[in-house]
């Protein structure tokens, strides 16, 4: 009887194994789908670069991950990119922090007019900043990488800006916290996403804007501009973050997570190079059109820097009230930029 019982148990075990193994194989072979959203226009170089990440994920996971890419805001618009990712409308999104003012308080220091000295350092600083501080404001997503635009300067439609007084009464499209800078400089800030700027310039809603050279070509509104003022002492950057829905990330097998984690740092360098490339192209585009490039004297630039100081004082005070290390964050950013300054 005992031998018979043992035989029955062995047969039952073999039967159950036969059922379980196909299920495991089927689960392993199941294709994982990722929805990746990008609001940049189809013709902008941001679009194919993020698409190349999508293709690399598919290749490096040997087809176990299928990526559906939605460029040009076809899945979600720019201002909703972060929320759309946290809610699972998109699995991966490209979000510009300044479109949700107040949501990322500590990291907002990177959007202030720090006086960015070149085209690649904003991206490098943004990733170094996150590695240093790991702000809790990003705890609701999986961070893939940060990238940041080249220095944002002043561009105008019909009036050259040679000195600070020239900005008085000018309606200038600004980005996030730089509305405060424009007010301190004497201009009138007009807030809107970059996708609305072309129409605003054409209808006279804005007399100009603060942005990187690349945007004048990438968004095709450079044909309405005549002057660019290189106020590099008070230039800003717009910081972007590529994020993944946290539940989606946690659902991925460890080996696929590793593929993505190994791939992300490579795209920090690729995005830095992309920003440098399109910035040079954007400036050449304006020069070719005959636009006048204005460089401020050191004395004039010092006036602009002095006018901007309250912004940094207000940031440190605000962070202190929130219990965040604002003074340390500002010092880290300023110290990081020092070796790059001329």
- What's the mean pLDDT in 152-165? 97
Half-sphere exposure of 180 (CA within 13 A, CB side): 16
The CA distance from 289 to 191, in Å, is 27
Instruction: Summarize pLDDT for 174-216 with one digit per residue, the tens.
Output: 877 789 999 999 999 998 888 899 999 999 999 999 999 999 9
Give the DSSP H or E segment for 33. Answer: strand 32-37
CA-atom Rg of the chain in angstroms: 25
* pLDDT > 90? residue 21: no
Going by the DSSP 8-state scheme, the letter that residue 73 receives in this structure is T
Per-residue pLDDT at 8:
56
As beta bridge partners, residue 230 has: 295
In order of 25, 165, 239, 327, the CA distances from 146 in angstroms are: 36, 36, 7, 22
- Residue 5 is predicted with a pLDDT of 58
> Positive or negative, the Cα torsion across 209, 74, 271, 84?
positive
Angle at 109 between CA 107 and CA 114, to 5 degrees: 145
Does residue 15 surpass a pLDDT of 70?
no
More confident residue, 115 or 7: 115
The DSSP string of 114-157 is ----SSSHHHHHHHHHHHHH--GGGTTEEEEEEEEPSPBEEEES
The crossing angle, in degrees rounded to 10, of helices 326-337 and 121-133 is 140
CB–CB of 98/238 below 8 Å?
yes
Task: Go through the domains of the chain in sequence order and give each one's CATH number.
Answer: 30-148+238-280 (3.40.190.170), 153-237+282-340 (3.40.190.170)
Mean pLDDT for all residues in the chain: 91
Q: If you average pLDDT over residues 284-305, what whole number do you get?
A: 96
For β-strands 92-96 and 171-174, DSSP reports them as: unpaired
What is the 3-state secondary structure of 230-298?
Answer: ECHHHCECCEEEEEEEHHHHHHCCHHHHHHHHHHHHHHHHHHHHHHHHHHHHHHHHHHHCCCEEEECCH
Structure confidence by residue, pLDDT tens digits, 61-95: 999 999 999 999 999 999 999 999 999 999 999 99
Q: Tokens representing 279?
A: 């910035």
Residue 80, SS3? helix
Report the run of H or E that residue 211 belongs to, with start and end.
strand 208-211
Give, in degrees to the nearest 5, the angle at Cα 144 between 140 and 148: 105
Torsion, Cα 237 190 296 333, to 10 degrees, reads -30
Q: What does the block give as tokens for 236?
A: 């800003």
24-51 per-position pLDDT tens digit: 444 456 899 999 999 988 888 899 999 9
**Angle, CA of 216, 304 and 101, to the nearest 5°:** 60
Q: What is the DSSP letter of 161?
A: -
């Amino acid at each position: 009887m005992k031998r018979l019982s043992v035989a029955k148990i062995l047969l039952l075990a073999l039967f159950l194994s036969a059922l379980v193994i196909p299920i495991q194989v089927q689960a392993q072979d199941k294709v994982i789908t990722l929805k990746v959203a990008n609001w940049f226009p189809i013709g902008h170089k941001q679009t194919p670069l993020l698409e190349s990440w999508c293709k690399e994920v598919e290749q490096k996971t040997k087809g176990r991950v299928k990526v559906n890419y939605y460029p040009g805001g076809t899945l979600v618009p720019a201002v909703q990119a972060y929320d759309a990712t946290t809610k699972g409308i998109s699995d991966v999104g490209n979000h510009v922090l300044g479109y949700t003012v107040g949501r990322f308080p500590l990291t907002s220091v990177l959007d202030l007019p720090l006086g960015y000295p070149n085209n690649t350092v904003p991206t490098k600083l943004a990733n170094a900043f996150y590695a240093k501080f790991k702000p809790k404001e990003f705890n609701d997503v999986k961070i893939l990488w940060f990238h940041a635009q080249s220095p944002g300067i002043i561009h105008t439609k019909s009036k050259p800006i040679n000195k600070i007084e020239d900005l008085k009464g000018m309606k200038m499209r600004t980005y996030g916290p730089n509305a405060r800078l424009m007010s301190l400089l004497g201009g009138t800030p007009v807030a809107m996403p970059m996708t609305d700027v072309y129409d605003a310039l054409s209808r006279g809603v804005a007399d100009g804007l603060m942005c990187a050279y690349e945007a004048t070509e990438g968004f095709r509104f450079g044909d309405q501009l005549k002057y660019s003022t290189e106020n590099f002492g008070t230039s800003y950057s717009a910081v972007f973050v590529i994020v993944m829905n946290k539940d989606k990330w946690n659902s991925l097998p460890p080996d696929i997570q590793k593929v993505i984690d190994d791939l992300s740092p490579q795209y920090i360098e690729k995005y830095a190079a992309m920003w440098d490339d399109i910035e040079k192209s954007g400036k050449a585009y304006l020069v070719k059109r005959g636009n006048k490039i204005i460089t401020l004297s050191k004395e004039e630039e010092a006036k602009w820097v002095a006018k901007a100081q309250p912004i940094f004082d207000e940031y440190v005070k605000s962070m202190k009230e929130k219990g965040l290390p604002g003074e340390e964050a500002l010092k880290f950013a300023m110290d990081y930029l020092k070796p790059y300054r001329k």
